[in-house]
Amino acid sequence: MSFGFILLAVLCLAFANGGNDNFKGVATLFGSGTTNYRRALAWATVTTLGGSTAAVFLAERLLKNFSGRGLVDDTLVADSAYVAAVALAAGLTVLVATRIGMPISTTHGLMGALVGAGWAAGSSIDGQKLVTDFFLPLVASPVIAIVATVVCYRALHRLRAALGVTAETCFCIGSEVLETCPLLSPMAATEQVERLSLRVGSPVTCQNHYHGRLLGLEAGWFLDRLHFLSAGVVSFARGLNDTPKIAAILLLAPQLSGFGSTMLVGLVMAAGGLASARRVAELMSQKITPMNHGQGLTANLVTGLVVLSASRFGWPVSTTHVSCGAIFGLGAVTGGPRWKTIAVILLAWLTTLPAAIALGAACFWAINRG
């Protein structure tokens, strides 16, 4: 198996990862109306690439975990056909999900491909390592994100009120304000938009605004900048956590160093996000639950904290699961979740691992037959 084929398969996986994952850190910016799609995507690309660069120095343990060492037989890890099968199977899994607009876990895709190709090769699988180093962090992380978001949102809501910052819902036609009222729930705001649109005969938009001052600055301006910063932190954390997982596949090739493989993967991930993030972006931002600026900020703070902590300790959590878990938590605490969408996402999560295992086995079989 040539190095060129392995490199192509890994870059396919990196491109697919960018399309499926790059926008997740900034989904709350777009979903809350803080900024538009293009600006959110540009911010995600820059900060994710920063995280990919930092991964060269800070994520050595993830590089080792996702090379497959200790999970399958050491002799198999050095087999170029095995390496190619893992990259190809994980890439196909994520590409299909991106095509249909499902936010799945690249971590699950890689883990399934490692196991499936290993089984097809007749390797023993270290079940304890599989459970402790891979499965448990992936299962626990979205639960932690949901609980942390509910707790943090309520705490920050009380803090805002204690600081004298008030929230209003504004109904407008273009730049003309029709009316304002105390902050409404997403359902109540939607009903009011429909009533006003019928009354005036024109489409009415709804936005939430904050009034008051924080640290001597206007509250709305300050919170929007903090929201951008938190989104950047999440995207940086995703680049830091995901890049070494993919780059690890190239570690066995003498043609690339750890630095070279990590930077190459980071650049291709950025390209994938720019080219094909739209469908996943719309689902994450607009179809799980309505959110305002403060709620989006809360979800990002929780996501960034969980993923950065996981990267620091080498735990392979899924940024997808954490960021979706935080948005699920918002829906639970604000009363506006779209359960049908959430159910479809959960179904996609459940099928990712077995699909990647099957593809890993099939790719290994096909490569060896060829």
Burial 83-115 (b: 16+ CB within 10 A, else e): bbbbbbbbbbbbbbbbeebbbbbbbbbbbbbbb
Q: For residues 167 and 182, is the Cβ–Cβ distance under 8 A? A: yes
Task: Work out the mean pLDDT of the chain and round it to a whole number.
Answer: 83
**Burial zone of 16 (CB within 10 Å; 0-12 exposed, 13-18 middle, 19+ buried):** buried
**What average pLDDT does this structure show over 262-285?**
88
| Residue 1: pLDDT band with limits 50, 70, 90 | low
How far is residue 353's CA from residue 315's CA, in Å, rounded to a whole number?
Answer: 18
Distance of CA 255 to the CA centre of its chain: 30
What pTM did the predictor assign?
Answer: 0.79
Reading the block at residue 180, the tokens are: 């304002």
Give the helix, strand, coil percentages of the chain, each rounded to 5: 75, 10, 20
Q: What is the pLDDT of residue 96?
A: 92
Residue 331 CB neighbour total at 10 angstroms = 22
Query: Is 182 or 255 the better-scoring residue by pLDDT?
Result: 182
At 54-76, the pLDDT tens digits run 877 765 555 555 555 556 776 77
Q: For residues 183 and 206, is the Cβ–Cβ distance under 8 A? A: no
At 188-213, the pLDDT tens digits run 777 888 888 888 787 887 777 787 88
Residue 52 CB neighbour total at 10 angstroms = 29
How far is residue 254's CA from residue 285's CA, in Å, rounded to a whole number?
Answer: 41
How far is residue 114's CA from residue 353's CA, in Å, rounded to a whole number?
Answer: 11
| Residue 37: pLDDT band with limits 50, 70, 90 | very high
At 145-171, the pLDDT tens digits run 999 999 998 998 888 888 888 888 888
User: What's the Cα-to-Cα distance from 355 to each of 167, 283, 360, rounded to whole Å?
Assistant: 45, 22, 8
* Listed range (75-89, 111-125, 172-186, 298-312) with the worst mean pLDDT: 172-186
CA angle 111, 117, 122 (to 5 degrees): 125
Q: What is the pLDDT of residue 45?
A: 94
Reading the block at residue 304, the tokens are: 């960034």
| Cβ neighbours for 254, distance < 8 A, ≥ 6 positions apart | none
Reading the block at residue 11, the tokens are: 């870059």
Torsion of CA 287, 293, 299, 303, to 10 degrees: 110
70 φψ region: left (φ > 0), alpha (ψ -120 to 50), beta (else): left
At 110-135, the pLDDT tens digits run 888 988 998 898 887 777 777 776 77
| Residue 40: pLDDT band with limits 50, 70, 90 | very high
Beta strands in the chain, from DSSP E residues, in sequence order: 166-173, 176-182, 205-211, 213-214, 217-218
**What average pLDDT does this structure show over 277-305?**
86
At 325-335, the pLDDT tens digits run 999 998 888 87
Instruction: Inform me whether the pLDDT recorded for 357 exceeds 90.
Output: yes
Q: What is the pLDDT of residue 63?
A: 55
How far is residue 16's CA from residue 13's CA, in Å, rounded to a whole number?
Answer: 5
At 233-269, the pLDDT tens digits run 889 888 887 887 787 777 655 566 667 777 888 899 9
